[in-house]
Amino acid sequence: MIGNKIILYIGLVIGILTYLFWEYLKNAGFSIFYIGNALFIFSLALYIFLKDRKSFIAYVILGLSVNNLLDEIWFNPIKFNWSEGFVGVSIILLALFKNYKNGRKNK
* Cβ pair 40, 11 in contact under 8 A: yes
Mean predicted confidence (pLDDT) in 47-56: 84
- pLDDT over 50 at 95, yes or no: yes
- Conformation bin of residue 76: beta by default, left when phi > 0, alpha when psi is -120 to 50: beta
Asked if pLDDT for residue 60 goes beyond 50, the answer is: yes
Q: In whole angstroms, what is the distance from residue 25 CA to residue 20 CA?
A: 9
Measured distance CA(72)–CA(66) in Å, rounded: 10
Q: At what angle do helices 56-73 and 82-106 cross, to 10 degrees?
A: 160
Residue 20 pLDDT greater than 50, yes or no: yes
In angstroms, how far is CA 27 from the centroid of its own chain? 24
Whole-model pTM above 0.85? no
